[in-house]
Chains A and B, each alone.
Chain A
Amino acid sequence: MAEMQKSWRDGALRLSTLPLLLLMGLFFVIPLIMTALLSFQGTQYYRLVWTWDTNVWTDVFSQIHYWKIMWRTLTMALVCTLLCTVLAIPIAYAMLHRLSRWSDQITLLMVFAFLTDAVLKTFGWVLFLDRSGVLNGTLEAIGFPPAAVNVLFSPNATMIGMVYNLLPYTIFTTALSMARIDRDLVLAARDAGATRLRAFHEVTLPLAKPGIWAGAVLVFVLSLGVFLEPKVMGGGTSPLAAELIRQSFETRVNWPLGAALTLVLIVIGAAVLAMAGVLAFWQARRGSND
């Protein structure tokens, strides 16, 4: 604590944070303020008019359509976060322990897949899942009826694409924090009488929590802003918030509306993160009093 207080009085230290402050100010705080200001303007004949009124906001709050999309975006993001987080735990664990011999190769392949352009990967899924695509062709060849898997162009397909594209984030953060756990701690739990599963539950999982949380937050924030997967794999039938915002700016050329919807999305995301933070804090406190 003393060190923290002292560091604020350290002039050189304060100076060294200047570039970061500048960066955050220029590219985060100022654009955010500009977006907020923009939402109080109007449009006429596809041109921005500096009206300084709340017409756009009245529009946003009166149209149930926007809120349906916001709600869908939020639930999709939460489900995607849950899936990515839950899937990443066994994958990361297996990568580090059961398949540790091939851990480097697996990581390399994952990095390749991760760095491949998302557009290519998403269209790859279309080819794979299509009614006459690779998956259905293979299933037909081994005796399934034609087009057995008909998932493409539905919200489920969107979810598959989102989970696929975002899963590496949770795998990497979870694996990183699991790799830092001293192997002796697991052995100590085993030695004290814990089964493998119990040792995982008592030692590995709680100690990997920071990485799991970090991955969940990353995936949640990123999944709020997806537009590629709903468009390509979801077939554009159930657009999410990012698509709505894009349309407002580009198709309808209604910048104030786009700005207002952007703010709504940011507030929703921030509120959920804040709630998760409070939840995690209470859980930690309850755990320590247990």
Chain B
Amino acid sequence: MASPIIQATGIEKYYDTYRALTNISLSVANGEFLALVGPSGCGKTSLLKILAGFEDLSGGSLVIDGQDMAGMPASARPTRMVFQKLALFPHKTVAQNIGFPLHLAKRPKREIDTAVRRMLELMHLKESYLNRYPHELSGGEQQRVALARSMVSQPPVLLLDEPMSALDAKLKKSLQAELKHLHRHVGTSFVHVTHDLEEAMMLADRICVMRAGEIVQIGEPSEIYYRPADAFVAGFIGDTNLLPAKIMQVGEGFEFSCDILKCSSPRLDAEQVAAGVAAGADALLMIRPEMLRLLALGETADCTLAGTVREYFIRGASIQYRISIDDTEIVMDVPGTSVLPAQQGDAVQLGLSLSDLFAVEA
């Protein structure tokens, strides 16, 4: 990895006595797309504001594009922000909005004009929009203008503060795809704050999961999804089943026992157990809903569960079943079919591959 574009070391942030960020160390590679996710109040937006220069550091250091950011105002930083509510200037036209950073930099009019038109093309905006005002555009178009404004001066780092949270689902999907495409095209590093995990998984090269002002885990989407650091990450990203189990170390691997999960040889490899799970201690076995399948009569699997269908939801591409096993409820996603594989109240057998299991600390 070449030298990182963002290098944060031990960042702390206090608001009076409230500790918003604790020991945040993070590096973003040049051209990387990093998503910051976490529940509201986890500090992800504070971190973004610190990167942008809207908030001061209480401790630690921040280097962006080879420069120490200490005491550097937002106006001088090599970062640009896309705001949650877009913050387009209502009294300026689309052309003036997009060209604003260049206008401030006192670039010649011709150069600004060329750059604005280039951004317009890149964002698939019509040229007739140039002299319109932001309120005359649709939500999706405003989004594109905001992106164009933040990218017109080709900043090394783009910071996105949940800019799509206000859009309807369909528009969001198409803009997400466009954003991903844009990222590949321009080669700028993106730091994207979102609470939408699906969005983070879809867009980001790496995801940084935060909780209560601390980083819980940083990793590629598949790592976060299949190998979460703890039960919080497992539960936060997507639907999940967490079954209580006992873990015992046997040689290189682990053996486990779980009341409701019946396995012929209950063994896990070393990489199927999260760091921090102590041998002999209580743990949770994570099973993603789509890892489970309905077993036909006589069919076998590495591990099985027996339960009763409590309810189901037809979601198009998949059908979600909620299955009661004693006092536990299990969520299972099966591929959608026109004929329901199981009805409410049916007794069912569920199968699972041993290699899909992952254990986290209880």
Of the listed stretches A58-66, A109-117, A192-200, A270-278, name the one at the interface; the rest are far from the partner chain: A192-200
Bound CA–CA A290/B87 (angstroms): 21
- CB pair A187–B87 under 8 Å, yes or no, is yes
Q: B residues within 8 Å of A by Cβ?
A: 52-54, 73-76, 79-81, 83-85, 87-91, 93, 96, 100-101, 104-105, 131, 149-150, 153
Chain A residue nearest to B96 (CB atoms) is: A290
Bound CA–CA A193/B155 (angstroms): 11
20 contacts between A and B (CB under 8 A): A185-B89, A187-B54, A188-B88, A188-B89, A189-B104, A190-B73, A190-B74, A190-B75, A191-B79, A191-B81, A192-B75, A192-B80, A192-B101, A192-B153, A193-B76, A193-B153, A202-B89, A202-B104, A203-B89, A288-B93
Bound CA–CA A290/B75 (angstroms): 24
- CB pair A184–B85 under 8 Å, yes or no, is yes
- From DSSP, what is the main secondary structure of chain A's interface residues? helix
- CB pair A188–B87 under 8 Å, yes or no, is yes
Bound CA–CA A185/B354 (angstroms): 54
Within 8 Å of chain B (Cβ to Cβ): is A31? no
Cβ contacts under 8 Å, A104 to chain B: none
Cβ contacts under 8 Å, B84 to chain A: 184
Within 8 Å of chain B (Cβ to Cβ): is A207? yes
CB distance from B51 to the nearest CB of A (A): 11
Number of A residues near B (Cβ < 8 Å) is 19
Chain B residue nearest to A187 (CB atoms) is: B54
- CB pair A191–B74 under 8 Å, yes or no, is yes
Within 8 Å of chain B (Cβ to Cβ): is A182? yes
Cβ-neighbour of B104 out of A184, A192, A288, A290 (below 8 A): A192
Cβ contacts under 8 Å, B105 to chain A: 193
Bound CA–CA A198/B149 (angstroms): 17
Within 8 Å of chain B (Cβ to Cβ): is A90? no
Bound CA–CA A191/B96 (angstroms): 16
Chain B residue nearest to A186 (CB atoms) is: B87
Cβ contacts under 8 Å, A184 to chain B: 83-85, 87
Pick the most buried of B80, B88, B91: most chain A CB atoms within 10 A of its CB: B91
**Segment 150-191 of A: residues with Cβ below 8 Å from B:** 182, 184-185, 187-191
- CB pair B87–A192 under 8 Å, yes or no, is no
- CB pair A182–B91 under 8 Å, yes or no, is no
Cβ contacts under 8 Å, B83 to chain A: 184, 187-188
- CB pair A194–B75 under 8 Å, yes or no, is yes
Cβ contacts under 8 Å, A25 to chain B: none
- CB pair B101–A193 under 8 Å, yes or no, is yes
Q: Given A192-B101, A193-B105, list of 4 further CB < 8 A pairs?
A: A188-B81, A188-B83, A191-B75, A202-B89
Cβ contacts under 8 Å, B73 to chain A: 190, 195
Given contacts A192-B101, A193-B104, A194-B75, contact A207 B90 (CB under 8 A): yes
Bound CA–CA A185/B91 (angstroms): 11
Bound CA–CA A190/B52 (angstroms): 10
Chain A residue nearest to B81 (CB atoms) is: A191
Cβ contacts under 8 Å, A188 to chain B: 81, 83, 87-89
Bound CA–CA A204/B330 (angstroms): 55
Cβ contacts under 8 Å, B90 to chain A: 185, 207
CB distance from A174 to the nearest CB of B (A): 16
Within 8 Å of chain B (Cβ to Cβ): is A124? no
